[in-house]
Amino acid sequence: MTSSEQAGTGFRLTDPVLAEVVQAGLAEVEELLHKVVQSEFHPVMETSLHLVEAGGKRIRPLFTILSAQLGSSWDRDSVIKAAAVVELTHLATLYHDDVMDEATMRRGAESANAKWDNSIAILTGDYLFAHASALVADLGTRAARIIAETFSELVTGQMRETMGPRGDEDPVAHYLTTIAEKTGSLIATAARFGAMFSDTTPAQVEALRGYGEVIGAAFQISDDVIDIASPSSESGKTPGTDLREGVKTLPMLYALEDEPASRLAKLLAQPLTDDAEVTEALELLRSSAGLERARRTLDDYAARARAALADLPAGPAREALESVSEYVVTRSR
C-alpha cells in the first residue's frame, strides 16, 4: 500500500499529511477492535477475532476518518471510537450473513459457521453488536440513536432481500431500496459520524450522510456489473457467483424487464448449477441491454455522489472522497 492510494478501496490520498493522518487513524481503529473483543471466556474471543484478524479493507472506518478531515479540527478519540463502531457493526452482519447464505469461505478463510457451527456464528455476531453498542454509548445519545436506526435499516434491507418483491412491487425499485438499506445505510452512518465529531456544519453532516448512502449503493451496483462483465483474471473473482446463488442483481433485473420471455429469462428462473448454463447466461447478459442500463445507473449514482460533495470545503479530504465516485465506475468497466 502506498501513501497515495488506499489499496483496493478507491481512495486516492495524494496529500502526504492526509495519508499519514488516515494511516495513523486506521492503526488506532485496529487496536481498538482487538481491545474491545477481549474476554475472559476464550472461545468467544477466538470466534470474534476470526474475522477481525481476517483483514478487510476497513472501508467504513476510512469514510469516518476522512469525513472528519473536512473540518478544521476533529475530536480524535470520538472519531476513532465511531469508526470502530461502524466496523464492529459491519463485521457482526457478516457473521449473520454467512449463516443465512450457508457460506463456507469469508475473506479467503473458512467462515465461522463452517469452522464452528451456525449457532456459534450467530452468537459471535450478537457479541460484536453488543460491543458496538457499548462503545457508541461513550459517544452520546444522538450517536446511539443513529446506530440503532442504522441497525434497523440493515435488518429491514436483509428481510427485504430475503422475501423478494411482494405482489405488484417493481423488482428494480425493490432492489435499489434493498441496497440502499443493506449497504448504503452503514456507509452513510460512517461518513456522518466522522462529520459529527469534527467542526463541520449540520448541512455538511447531512451532505456527507447523503454521499455515503449513494456511494455505498454504487459499490453494490459496481459489484453486480463486475460479477457478470469481468473475467476472473481481471477481477480476482469467479464470474457468475450471483447466477449460481440465484440472486437477481440489477443487470439481470433490467434484462428481464426488457425481454421477459427470452432464453435468458428461462435461465434466470432458478439458481444455475450447470457450468455450461452459467457460461451461456453470462454470454447473454454481457450482450444484453440490461448490462448497459446497469452501467448507466452506476454512472448516475456516481454523479449524485459527487454532487453531494459539491458544497463541502475543497481540499485533499474532499478530493479523496470524490476519487471513490470515480473508482466505482472505472473498476467495473
pLDDT tens sequence across 238-270: 789 899 989 999 999 999 999 998 999 999 999
Residues 211 and 243 in one domain: yes
Residues 155 and 97 in one domain: yes
**Residues sharing a CB contact under 8 Å with residue 182, sequence separation 6 or more, in sequence order:** 154, 157, 158, 160, 161, 220
Q: What is the pLDDT of residue 69?
A: 97
Asked if residue 190 belongs to a domain, the reply is: yes
Rounded to an integer, what distance in angstroms lies between the CA atom of residue 28 and that of residue 74? 15
Q: What is the pLDDT of residue 100?
A: 80
Question: Length of the chain, please?
Answer: 333
Residues 259 and 187 in one domain: no
At 44, list the grid cell. Answer: 468467544
Rounded to an integer, what distance in angstroms lies between the CA atom of residue 157 and that of residue 218? 16
Q: What is the pLDDT of residue 70?
A: 95
Asked if residue 309 belongs to a domain, the reply is: yes
Q: Angle, to 10 degrees, between the axis of helix 316-330 and the axis of helix 289-308?
A: 180
At 105, list the grid cell. Answer: 469461505
Asked if residue 9 belongs to a domain, the reply is: no
**Residues sharing a CB contact under 8 Å with residue 194, sequence separation 6 or more, in sequence order:** 63, 64, 65, 66, 67, 68, 69, 74, 79, 82, 83, 208
Domain that holds residue 225: 201-333
Enter the pTM of the model. Answer: 0.93
From 141, 174, 199, the end of a domain falls on 199
Residues 286 and 193 in one domain: no
From 199, 228, 253, the end of a domain falls on 199
Q: What is the pLDDT of residue 1?
A: 39
pLDDT tens for each residue of the chain, 333 residues long: 344 556 567 889 999 999 999 999 999 999 999 999 998 888 899 988 888 888 778 999 999 999 999 998 999 999 999 999 999 999 999 988 888 877 776 766 778 888 888 888 899 999 999 999 999 999 999 999 999 999 999 999 999 999 999 988 999 999 999 999 999 999 999 999 999 999 999 999 999 999 999 999 999 999 999 999 987 545 456 789 899 989 999 999 999 999 998 999 999 999 999 999 999 999 999 999 999 999 999 999 999 999 999 999 999 999 999 999 999 999 987
Residues 223 and 111 in one domain: no
Q: What is the pLDDT of residue 236?
A: 52
Q: What is the pLDDT of residue 233?
A: 47
Residues 171 and 26 in one domain: yes
Residues 111 and 69 in one domain: yes
From 168, 199, 230, the end of a domain falls on 199
Q: What is the pLDDT of residue 95?
A: 86
CATH number of the CATH domain containing 188: 1.10.600.10
Total structural domains within the chain = 2
Asked if residue 10 belongs to a domain, the reply is: no
Asked if residue 162 belongs to a domain, the reply is: yes
Asked if residue 78 belongs to a domain, the reply is: yes
Residues 215 and 194 in one domain: no
CA atoms within 13 A on the CB side of 164: 7
Residues 67 and 96 in one domain: yes
At 305, list the grid cell. Answer: 455522489
Residues 241 and 253 in one domain: yes
Residues 326 and 227 in one domain: yes
Asked if residue 318 belongs to a domain, the reply is: yes
CB–CB of 320/233 below 8 Å? no
Asked if residue 2 belongs to a domain, the reply is: no
What does the CA dihedral 294, 325, 328, 214 come to, rounded to 10 degrees?
Answer: -60
Residues 131 and 258 in one domain: no
